[in-house]
Chain A
Amino acid sequence: MAAGTHYLPGLTPTNKPSVQKSDDAAGFYELGENVVDESAPTGPIGERWTTRKFENRLVNPANRRKLDIIIVGTGLAGGAAAATLGEAGYNVKSFCYQDSPRRAHSIAAQGGINAAKNYKEDGDSTYRLFYDTVKGGDYRARESNVFRLAEESVNIIDQCVAQGVPFAREYGGLLDNRSFGGVQVSRTFYARGQTGQQLLLGAYQAMERQVAAGTVESLTRHEMLELIVVDDKARGIIARNMVTGEIETHLADVVVLASGGYGNVFYLSTNAMGSNVTAAWRAHRKGAYMANPCYTQIHPTCIPVTGSHQSKLTLMSESLRNDGRIWVPKNVEDCEKDPREIPEADRDFFLERIYPSFGNLVPRDIASRAAKYMCDEGRGVGPEISEIGPDGEERLVRRGVYLDLTDAIKRLGKHAIEEKYDNLLDMYERITGENPYELPMRIYPAVHYVMGGLWVDYELQSNIKGLFVTGEANFSDHGANRLGASALMQGLADGYFVLPNTIRDYLADAPFDKIPEDHPAVVEALSSVQDKVSQFLSINGTRSVESYHKELGSIMWEYCGMERTEPGLKIAIQKIRDLRADFWTNVKVLGSADNINQDLEKAGRVADFLELGELMCVDALNRRESCGGHFRGESQTEDGEALRHDEEFAYVAAWEWGGDSNDGGQPVLHKEDLVYTAIEMKQRSYK
């Protein structure tokens, strides 16, 4: 049987399974068996999800309250799932590291949420949303999953409105839409620039309602530190109570990870300070595959770094590119000047120059890379920042390009610009201390979202039975790049509609064996966490946890950021290995284990980032093609555009943990072929 085609009886694939010829990562990994999504649906694409919902078995309402579900994370995916499964009558335990479920970082999403409602009658449809998403993901997502997402998108809006989410409305009282992220239809629902906040509060309130009803127990300031696997099934987690320091065992019939993305491996990102990979990474170390870890989305319009003190980056909505012109000085010696003194003739509007037809509105990754090249050439603006150069040496570079609203202000008037971007420009001024109405704004790309994550099948179940993964934590729906306003859609689709319909098929096998707390697997998980905590506190080295995180971030950003190359990635892998070895002998964690200890919490997260970072580099090294957010210097057209290699890489790279490379371990690559029947692969061009 041809790999990947076994589940398509009667359907004609539009592509051939790929055969990889290059092997850049040779010596860094082992090749394992292909992985197949055994639960993938069959039939015409429009019927797959409906059929599946019918075929999935039901759980008797009377039995539901006897079934325990652990959900880690309270963002859109986790909060929505907790609420929905609680309503259904299951016994849910919800965990978050923050002081309240309402703080999850979904709250920071600005732009909006896509849904194929076609309220504007502008030709939108489920199929078009599906098509745009697969294409936007550069044909690296599974078509069945994406179609399901597009189908559920409309239900999300209904659900959220019923919960009281105050979406923007038109004068007639009906919902307003806008166009977002370069698509040609208006399908984005929004609540000013705070859509994520409003959707999250909706899910949070629905979840708190279930807390009051007694179906959901909310454990805040709890961090999952280990997955309990018994007889190859996920049966619980070990979590640390971050207030008392107690290491607690929580057993359940099924575990759901909705723990978000790992963009903080870059140290600087638009993620929250606490966003981490630990929950997912612990599962990975217990056998769950990590899929496409190198797929990272870099957002072109963030506020640039001002110095080594910087702890996080702030996104400015991309909509600014509609009215702003992006430029750098033509001459290096002008970079220190007041931009207002640089004459028009000495300004290089590089996006307009290189991409005359799309100009400043080229896709995120192209805009980001172009800005990077300008700064690499030495024509960046703003303060000089210390960073690691391609040769591994430290250097000072200006990392910023101008986003200039002057022309738009002249053309439309200051008032019009104020109305459109008021809150954004205020935020910019607050952070930079510069008035964007007078001085051109400075922007630079920043890590924003990761498309990679734990591998899941169509049912959102990982290769460990009983471990489900939703939202940004899984890899499933965005391929190699995510469309604007689709992250919120995926999180809520997973949480409200997909997971509740798939998890029941797994739970229909209940009752499961009762696991005693003294089961060897439980004891082992518990003691491994306790040992690690005491190890951190006993190393007593000389360097702060923060300094390791910063150094890892600068390695990742330089070599595994906007542009990746074979030699660069190999340098990065070595550097990360050295840094990790040093971390385990020289990190300094003060304080005790029995109360709030933020350095201790961070140490565990950084330890996991130090392993993840290496895997991302190996994945990026193996994938010698440019697709979506992943750009390999070796794979570009003569004009410097991304070049995809479908014949070699139309597969999901699912990595199995093979042990720490410093101890001789190597990750094992399992490929899952991507097969399309409802859409044809195409190369994109923005020239």
Chain B
Amino acid sequence: MKLTLKIWRQENPSATGGIHTYELDGVSKDMSFLEMLDLLNEQLVTGGEEPVAFDSDCREGICGMCSLMINGEAHGPEVTTTCQLHMRSFNDGDTITIEPWRAEPFPVLKDLVVDRSAFDRIIQSGGFISSNTGSAPEANSVPAPRDKAMRAFNVATCIGCGACVAACPNGSASLFVGAKITHLGELPQGQPERWSRVVDMVGQHDHEGFGGCTNIGECASACPKEIPLDVISQLNKDLRTALKNGF
């Protein structure tokens, strides 16, 4: 296939960027989207132009390192990560616009690479269970109801890629925060810190400059791991309970 690529290029965090257009031939339907970009980069290097910088690591849809806004959709047209998106989802002659995630707390570092350390700081603010190594009780001494454990698992599959923020018209990270709140809040081990956790994490979320949630739902539909919108409801419920109890 032959494609026209419109790609955001930006030299460094302080430079002004812009869309550059490239023609790319010889794209196979079996390529992943990132392999298509590898091909472009090989072509650019051969022609003496600096390759396009983009993040990727595991390339099997689990590490959350890849990103990209593809034709206006986070991770492109399929419900998956960019690394698992394949070129058979596109047609010969297509024009594809590729942009970085756009959010103030996710500044562009170069081309399509953004800094998502705001997510780490949100986790630091309370996205954990305080349990020092060696202090744990025997694992089966605290049973966890199976349905709750399953819900915890389902939302714990969040890969922290930031697609929710990228897709949200408000630039909110509520789905990310809600997923962690729900994961830890559904487990018996997560109860002691449940109320302080939600207050602290929401506080950090706002402090980082993410937008407020208006329950639009773009986040959940962009999420490659299909984290449902109800984690935001859980977040709100926990926050309400926490504030009511003076946390």
Contacts and interface: CB of A to CB of B under 8 A. Distances in A.
Interface of A: 80, 83-84, 87, 98-105, 107-108, 117, 119, 155, 157-164, 166-175, 191-192, 194, 197-198, 201, 204-206, 208-209, 211-212, 218, 220, 243, 270, 272-274, 306-307, 309-312, 314-315, 427, 430-433, 496-497, 500, 544, 546-547, 588, 590-591, 595-599
11 contacts: A100-B119, A158-B137, A158-B139, A172-B143, A197-B62, A208-B120, A208-B127, A218-B120, A430-B80, A591-B51, A598-B53
B60 A314 contact: yes
A433 B84 CA distance: 12
A166 B133 contact: no
Contact of B30 (A155, A174, A273, A306): A306
Interface stretch (B34-42, B213-221, B229-237): B34-42
A209 B139 contact: no
B94 interface: no
A212 B201 CA distance: 12
B187 A208 contact: no
Given A100-B116, A166-B153, A309-B31, 12 more contacts: A100-B117, A102-B63, A102-B64, A108-B63, A162-B136, A173-B149, A175-B140, A309-B38, A311-B38, A427-B84, A496-B134, A596-B53
Contacts of B205: none
A164 B129 contact: yes
B102 interface: no
B57 A166 contact: no
Given A309-B39, A596-B113, A173 B145 contact: yes
Interface residues of B, number: 79
Contacts of B35: 309-311
B152 interface: yes
Contacts of A170: 146
B78 to A, nearest CB: 8
A272 B59 contact: yes
A586 to B, nearest CB: 13
A61 B58 CA distance: 39
Given A273-B57, A431-B84, A590-B49, A174 B123 contact: no
Interface string B13-41: 00000000000000011111011001101
Given A174-B143, A546-B38, A161 B136 contact: yes
Contacts of B127: 205, 208
B27 to A, nearest CB: 9
B152 A166 contact: yes
B92 interface: no
Contacts of B1: none
B91 interface: no
B139 A273 contact: no
A527 to B, nearest CB: 25
Contacts of A105: 57-58, 63
A212 B80 contact: no
B209 interface: no
A272 B184 CA distance: 28
A100 B113 CA distance: 13
Contacts of B149: 166-169, 173
Interface in B80-138: 80, 84, 86, 88, 109-110, 113, 115-117, 119-120, 123-125, 127-138
A160 B59 CA distance: 26
Contacts of A500: 133
B193 to A, nearest CB: 10
A495 to B, nearest CB: 9
Contacts of A427: 61, 84
Contacts of A588: 45
Contacts of B51: 590-591, 598-599
Contacts of B135: 162
The residue in A117, A307, A312, A599 that gathers the most chain B C-beta atoms within 10 A of its C-beta is A312
The residue in B50, B128, B157, B187 that gathers the most chain A C-beta atoms within 10 A of its C-beta is B128
Nearest to B113: A596
Interface of B: 11-12, 28-32, 34-35, 38-39, 41-42, 45-46, 48-51, 53, 55-65, 78, 80, 84, 86, 88, 109-110, 113, 115-117, 119-120, 123-125, 127-140, 142-146, 149-150, 152-153, 156-157, 159-160, 183-184, 187, 189-190
B189 A163 contact: yes
Contacts of A102: 63-64, 120, 160
Contacts of B143: 169, 172-174
Contact of A169 (B45, B88, B109, B146): B146
Contact of B65 (A87, A103, A208, A595): A103
A571 to B, nearest CB: 27
Contact of B124 (A201, A208, A497): A208
Contact of B156 (A159, A166, A220, A314): A166
A499 to B, nearest CB: 11
A107 B62 contact: yes
Contact of A101 (B88, B120, B128): B120
A496 B124 CA distance: 20
A204 B120 CA distance: 9
A273 B54 CA distance: 12
A208 to B, nearest CB: 5
A471 B143 CA distance: 30
Contacts of A598: 51, 53
The residue in A163, A174, A218, A544 that gathers the most chain B C-beta atoms within 10 A of its C-beta is A163
A430 B84 CA distance: 7
B1 to A, nearest CB: 12
A597 B111 CA distance: 11
A99 B53 CA distance: 14
Contacts of B12: 595-596
A170 to B, nearest CB: 7
Contacts of A310: 35
Contacts of A168: 149, 153
A448 B15 CA distance: 40
A206 B124 CA distance: 9
Contacts of A155: 134, 136
Contacts of B138: 158
A544 B46 contact: yes
Contacts of B137: 158, 162
The residue in B55, B78, B125, B142 that gathers the most chain A C-beta atoms within 10 A of its C-beta is B55
Contact of A159 (B32, B46, B133, B183): B133
Contact of B28 (A172, A220, A307): A307
Contact of B88 (A158, A205, A270, A433): A433
Contact of A595 (B32, B78, B110, B184): B110
A161 B139 contact: yes
Closest 8 CB pairs of A and B: A173-B143, A162-B136, A205-B128, A166-B153, A162-B131, A158-B136, A212-B124, A306-B30
B70 to A, nearest CB: 15
Contacts of B146: 169-173
Contacts of A547: 42
A547 B63 CA distance: 25
The residue in B32, B41, B116, B137 that gathers the most chain A C-beta atoms within 10 A of its C-beta is B32
Nearest to B34: A311
Contacts of A496: 133-134
